[in-house]
Structure 1
Amino acid sequence: MELEFAQSTPTAAAIARVVMANYAVGEVVSGELLRRGFNQVYGLALADGRRVVARLCAERPRGEPDLAFEAAVLRHLRTRGFPVAASLPAADGEVAIRVRLPEGERALMLFEHVEGEATADLAANIQAFGRGLAQLHAAGDGMDVSTSRYRLDLDHLLRRPLERLLRAPTMNAGLRPSFEALGRRLHERIASLGPLTQVLCHGDAHSDNNFVRAREDGSREAVFFDFDETGPGHLAYELAVYPWWLHPRTVDGVWSDKALARWGQFISAYQEVRPLGDADTAALAPFVAVRQFWLLGEYAGRVPVWGSQAIPTDYLERQVKVLTQWEGLELPMPGAALTADPAA
């Protein structure tokens, strides 16, 4: 009997052999599986003392990973002097290789390993993160984004994820109209704001996809990695990912003083570099809800790998309440930039 596989997990040793056979990096002396989530990520140590990170791309609900554009973004940002974990070409010059697995071929991409502190709740690090994201957007200005397979617009972030969610096996007839109405009102609310600023987005800037490190002069800078979601899109969505990360995603969730302080530090630092217009500011709160729709669509699309109980019906019932509450969500905007940390 021939079995079908949804997604297998190679060992770190197996990935090390694949990397040695396809990349001019020399001997891999050790490796470990760092994370098994949206992708499978491995840390590898090389004989020459370097470390690299291998990402084995998982099947995405949205479609094929846009690896060529991701590599182009990293090259562009590096050329502009912006700190990123650059991708490393395979021995044949390609941006990625194809690995044959029981479920079929999957792409593997290799990256530099970067060191630094987590952003966490340190004010200086949060400010470096906010400034760094603004500098990333400035560095992305002028890049030709016409080759991007994906645009981070309402079709990509809201409509298609909602369609996947409505097809989930744990969705029922009682919940479906509620999600449809919430999605429709959210779309109409954002559309009513008029044209919104477009930037080259990181796509997943929630503070865990960057480190903060000290420069020689003692100032702090953020270095970014994990550009799997990169693409041209709405600035307001890009900035809404961090408050979405901070705000409790529960029915009775309210802003804590700590979360409000972190949001204020972040958005103030961002606006020191790139001030926001009125329409983009007004779009921040509804895009927090858009991010949650995007996440629900990602979960729904991964049922064959993660199982239907990753989004059980009672969880979806709570999500209706959360998203209804978020229709009145407000993001306070500091009236003036916060005083910078002396070490920032």
Structure 2
Amino acid sequence: MGIDIAQSTPTAAAMAQLVQAHYPLGEVVAGEFLRRSFNQVYRLTLADGRHVVARLCAERPRGAPQLQFEADVLQHLRAGGCPVATSLPTRSGEVALRVQLPEGERAVMLFEHLSGEATSDLPANIEAFGRGLARLHTAGEGLHSSASHYTLDLDYLLLLPLQRLLRAPTMTAELRPQFEALGQRLHNRILSLGALTQVLCHGDAHSDNNFIAVRDNGEREAVFFDFDECGPGHLAYELAVYPWWLHPRAVDGLWSDKAATRWRQFITAYREVRVLSDADLAALPLFVAVRQFWLLGEYAGRVPVWGSQAMSTDYLHRQVKLLGQWEGLEMPAV
């Protein structure tokens, strides 16, 4: 009798063998399993001492990973002078390797390895992160790619995640209309702001998907990786990801002085490089809540792998209170 597998985890040694066999990089002498979250990520060491990073793409509720578009984005940004971890082609020139696992076919994508300091709470690093994200948006202009891609609009970020959330096995008849009403009010408030600025978004720029490189002249520069959420979309959403990460995601959470200071350092540095409209500024706190809806939809889609208690009914009760509180969320004054 066969047993269905939701998601398997290859060992680092197995991933090293795959990369050695299918990429023109020579011998892979060591491997390290870094993390398992939405994807599984490995650091591999080559015989010449270099490192590369392998990402084993997981099945996601949003649909298949848009690997060709991601590779096109990385090449475009690199050509525009933006420091990013570009993808590496297989021996046959493909952007990814397809491997058969117990649950079915999954894609492995290989990237350059970046190093540097964490952004942390060092003001110079936060400012470098803000300037770097602004430069990334400038470098993203003029991209031409025929590959299919995600579009980070309200359907993708809010309405579809809301539907996945409403179908979660731990959702209740009491909570369902509350989440529906919160999502609809949020949607309507954003639409009422009119046209918002669109950019090529990183999609997950919360300061843990970049490092800060210190150049020979002492300049600090943000270097970016982990673009599997990238796509054209709302600038206000892109900029809301960092304050969403800073703000306590708990009922009755308040901006701490430390979090408010970090937000001001980030957004001030961003605006030194790119103009931010009044409408986009007004949309920012709304998109902090959108980000939480997006996350809840992702969690709901991961129940077959993570289990239903990854979003228990008690957790959902806290989330509906949190999102209700965030209807009046205000960003720290800049």
TM-score (norm 2): 0.99
Correspondence for 1:201: 201
**Hey, what's the Cα distance between the residues in 1 that align with 2:265 and 2:230?**
24
In the aligned structure 2, how far is the partner of 1:103 from the partner of 1:279?
45
Match of 1:21 in 2: 21
Structure-2 residue corresponding to 1:326: 326
Counterpart of 2:250, as a letter, is: T
Q: Does 1:34 align with 2:34?
A: yes
Deviation of 1:151 after TM superposition, in Å, equals 0.2
Give the 4+ runs in structure 1 shifted more than 2 A: 144-149
Deviations 1:16-65 (A, max 9, x none): 00001100111111111001000000000000110000000000110000
Q: How far apart are the structure 1 equivalents of 2:155 and 2:146?
A: 17
Shift of residue 214, structure 1, vs aligned partner:
1.0
- Pair 145,288 (structure 1): closer, same or farther in 2 beyond 3 Å: farther
1:107 maps to 107
- Cα RMSD (Å): 0.7
Q: Give the whole-Å Cα distance in 2 for the aligned partners of 1:14 and 1:275.
A: 47
Q: Could you tell me how far 1:332 is from its partner in structure 2?
A: 2.5
Contact 1:162/1:293 (<8 A) preserved = yes
Whole-angstrom distance in 2 between the partners of 1:180 and 1:218? 50
Between the aligned partners of 1:202 and 1:150, the Cα distance in structure 2 is 11
Q: Is the 8 A contact 2:131 2:272 kept in 1?
A: yes
| Aligned CA distance change for structure 1 residues 278 and 146 (closer, same or farther; 3 Å) | farther
What's the counterpart of residue 232 of structure 1?
232
- CA displacement 1:53-108 (0-9 Å, x = unmatched): 00000001100000000000000011111100110000000000101100001000
Q: 8 Å contact 1:162–1:183 — kept in the other structure?
A: yes
Determine if the alignment matches structure 1 residue 126 to structure 2 residue 109: no
**CA distance in structure 2 between the aligned counterparts of 1:214 and 1:259, rounded to whole angstroms:** 24
SS of corresponding position for 1:243: helix
Cα distance in 1 for residues equivalent to 2:180 and 2:322: 15
SS at match of 1:16: helix
Cα offset, 1:147, TM superposition: 3.5
SS of 1:110 mapped into structure 2: strand
TM-score (norm 1): 0.96
Could you say what secondary structure the match of 2:95 adopts?
A: coil
Shift of 1:144: 2.4
Cα shift at 1:178:
0.2
Structure 1 contact 116–213 (Cα < 8 Å) conserved: yes
- The letter for the 1-side match of 2:313 is T
Work out the CA distance in 1 between the residues paired with 2:268 and 2:101. 47
C-alpha separation in 2, matches of 1:129 and 1:111? 21
Partner of 2:63: 63
**Do 1:11 and 1:33's aligned partners in 2 also have CA atoms closer than 8 Å?**
yes
Q: Is the 8 A contact 1:145 1:231 kept in 2?
A: no
Which moves more between the two structures, 144-153 or 306-315? 144-153
Count of matched residue positions in the alignment of Structure 1 and Structure 2: 334
Q: Which residue matches 1:339?
A: none
Unaligned ranges ≥5, structure 1: 335-344
**3-state SS, counterpart of residue 94 of structure 2:** coil
Structural mapping, 1:45-56, within 5 Å:
45-56=45-56
Rounded Cα–Cα distance in structure 1 between residues aligned with 2:275 and 2:76: 23
Deviations 1:296-327 (A, max 9, x none): 00000010000000000000000000000000
Tell whether the 8 Å contact from 2:39 to 2:56 is kept in structure 1 after alignment: yes
